[in-house]
């Protein structure tokens, strides 16, 4: 089982870009299965919300303040040697 989560806050250093400051939260979960000695397959899903703190509907009528996204990933990993690994991903 794979679980991960996080919170981040981003501030732009230029006042003119303050409308792009945001808080972001995500949760990632999935399963991973070892097939044989050095083979692994897995599936992960990530759910993310981004909240743009300084956007007002009057100043920025197009973009919304809070955006959500979902992503799904299926992967295969093969370890060929101590220094070589092959990853294949479909997202």
Sign of the alpha-carbon dihedral angle for 54, 57, 59, 63: positive
- Say what the pLDDT of residue 40 is: 93
CATH number at residue 43: 2.20.200
Could you give the angle at the alpha carbon of 11 between the alpha carbons of 25 and 24, nearest 5°? 5
- Say what the pLDDT of residue 53 is: 79
Distance, in Å, from the CA atom of 36 to the CA atom of 22, rounded to the nearest integer, reads 43
pLDDT at 60 over 80: no
pLDDT at 9 over 80: yes
- Residue 51: domain span: 2-90
Number of domains in the chain: 1
Of the candidates 2, 4, 17, 15, the one whose C-alpha atom is nearest the C-alpha of residue 60 is 17
pLDDT at 65 over 90: no
Hey, what are 22's tokens? 């945001």
Q: How confident is the model at residue 63 (pLDDT cuts 50, 70, 90)?
A: low
Helix, strand and coil percent figures for the chain, each rounded to 5: 5, 65, 30
Could you give the angle at the alpha carbon of 58 between the alpha carbons of 53 and 61, nearest 5°? 85
Per DSSP, the chain holds a count of helices (H) and strands (E) of 0, 5
């Amino acid at each position: 089982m794979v679980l991960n989560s996080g919170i981040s806050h981003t501030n732009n250093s230029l006042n003119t870009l303050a409308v792009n400051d945001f808080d972001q939260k995500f949760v990632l979960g999935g399963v991973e299965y070892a097939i044989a000695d050095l083979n692994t397959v897995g599936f992960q899903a990530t759910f993310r919300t981004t909240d743009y703190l300084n956007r007002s509907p009057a100043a920025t009528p197009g973009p919304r303040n809070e955006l959500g996204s979902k992503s799904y990933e299926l992967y295969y990993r093969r370890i060929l040697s101590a220094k070589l690994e092959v990853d294949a991903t479909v997202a």
